[in-house]
Amino acid sequence: MPVYKDQKAKKNPWYYQFDYLDDSGERKFKKQRGFKTKGDAQKALVEAESTYNRDGLTKESKVLYSEFLKRFIDYKKAGGVSKSTLVNYTWLIDLHIVPYLGSIMLTELKPEMLVRLYNRLNDEKTLSDENIQKVHTLINNSLQLAVKWKELNRNVASLVDRPKVKRKKVEVWDLEDSHKFLLEAKNSRYYMTFLLAVTTGMRQGEILGLKWENVDFNRGNISITQTLSHDGKEFIDGAKTKAGVRSVAVDQATLDELKRLQLRTKKEKLSSPEGTYIEKNLVICTSVGTQLTPRNLMRSFYALIEKTRVKKIRFHDLRHTHCTMLLGMDIHPKKVAERVGHKDSRMMDRYSHILPNMQKETASKFGEMFYKKA
């Protein structure tokens, strides 16, 4: 294997080289530097030779990485990526990739550059671990596309490990705090938003996008068919994930509250001056029928938390609160996952802090059964 070590290079000294014939039949040499180990260089060489033998040598692009990322976003847009996902991609690229890597030629990107970027993002703590992983995914996918389009011979991101996520402990309310908060929120216009989050585990966007036609009072369930975007400006068909499009069973007390809300909403519509009410058939809406923006909901949510003096949590933690309560009732994790729209039951890992109590209760129940006849 034509793999060599540059004795003068202090970092990433390994490189490969192989010869080939160009379109005119003239012999040329292809060299690629910047590999940390001999194995990395050999792996890249195999990929480069395989690409050449199959398609001919790629004519590597001399474009800046920032310019290629624009084309990558256009490619994703044409591929049908949702608007909200596209906004998230653009935000991560513009603020957290381009400022550090955008001025580098596509062909000059090196694995150590990506490692330095991930370390910097981790040190700055401006992004969550999950979003740093998304940065890596975007870089990896964009360079895969460059290889596919024959503008690169190799994807350097494939030589870098995906950043790890430090799983944070989920913050939830216990039964007492949940009731205390909901009792105070009873007089809030948006009480039903909080109640649905606690009693069904629905996501914020799912609740704010819910229509009355999706509430089946006879069968006692809610169908999740659309969500409200994070900025509150548009409704998105479907849900966050495929598993999110689902039917959620609702307890009778919550259904009764929904009926009372529906009656109040109808009265508001009838009493509104002509031409001022905008009918969108939303369960959660403003006094003129329009959607409630997440920002305004959060303002109300945190004001109620401060007033009731319960532990400060995020709105999304109401969903975790619901899951924790179900797991505490010994409901099978698979059923909990299906109820809240998780794609699999590995979500149990998020609630590991309650497992010791569950194990203790299980042991007690077993002891009562086992020694009952002793």
Structure-model confidence comparison of residues 138 and 359, the more confident one: 138
Indicate the fold that domain 65-159 takes in CATH: DNA polymerase; domain 1 (1.10.150)
Q: What is the CA radius of gyration of the chain?
A: 28
> Would you state the pLDDT for residue 362?
55
Residue 58 scores a pLDDT above 90: no
> Would you state the pLDDT for residue 45?
84
Mean pLDDT, to the nearest integer, of 317-339? 85
> Would you state the pLDDT for residue 59?
55
Residue whose pair of structure tokens reads 């509250």 in the numeric block? 257
Residue 356 scores a pLDDT above 60: no
> Would you state the pLDDT for residue 98?
96
User: What does the block give as tokens for 212?
Assistant: 């009355």
> Would you state the pLDDT for residue 260?
96
E-assigned strands of 57-131?
Answer: none
Residue 263 scores a pLDDT above 50: yes
- % of residues, the chain, pLDDT over 70: 84
> Would you state the pLDDT for residue 6?
87
> Would you state the pLDDT for residue 222?
94
E-assigned strands of 101-244?
Answer: 215-216, 221-223, 226-228, 235-237
> Would you state the pLDDT for residue 134?
95
Whole-number Å distance between alpha carbons of 140 and 137: 5
pLDDT digits (tens, 9 = 90+) for 185-231: 999 999 999 999 999 999 999 999 999 999 999 999 999 999 998 88
User: What does the block give as tokens for 257?
Assistant: 């509250």
DSSP state of 37: S
Whole-number Å distance between alpha carbons of 193 and 289: 15
Whole-number Å distance between alpha carbons of 328 and 111: 45
Residue 312: φ, ψ to 5°: -75, 120
Mean pLDDT, to the nearest integer, of 53-71? 74
> Would you state the pLDDT for residue 275?
86
Mean pLDDT, to the nearest integer, of 14-30? 71
Domain boundaries, the chain: 3-55, 65-159, 175-364
Mean pLDDT, to the nearest integer, of 120-144? 92
> Would you state the pLDDT for residue 11?
86
Q: Which of 154, 116, 159 is nearest to 30 (CA)?
A: 154
Structure-model confidence comparison of residues 113 and 47, the more confident one: 113
Indicate the fold that domain 175-364 takes in CATH: hpI Integrase; Chain A (1.10.443)
Q: Does an H or E element contain 29, and which?
A: strand 27-35
CB crowding 107-123: b at 16 or more within 10 Å, else e: bebbbebbeebbeebee
- The residues near 132 (Cβ < 8 Å, ≥ 6 apart) are 118, 121, 122, 163
Residue 55 scores a pLDDT above 60: no
Residue 269 scores a pLDDT above 70: yes
Bridge partners, residue 222, by sequence: 215, 248
Highest mean pLDDT among 23-27, 48-52, 98-102: 98-102
Mean pLDDT, to the nearest integer, of 258-281? 94
Whole-number Å distance between alpha carbons of 195 and 1: 66
Confidence of residue 99 (pLDDT cuts 50, 70, 90): very high
Residue 342 scores a pLDDT above 80: no
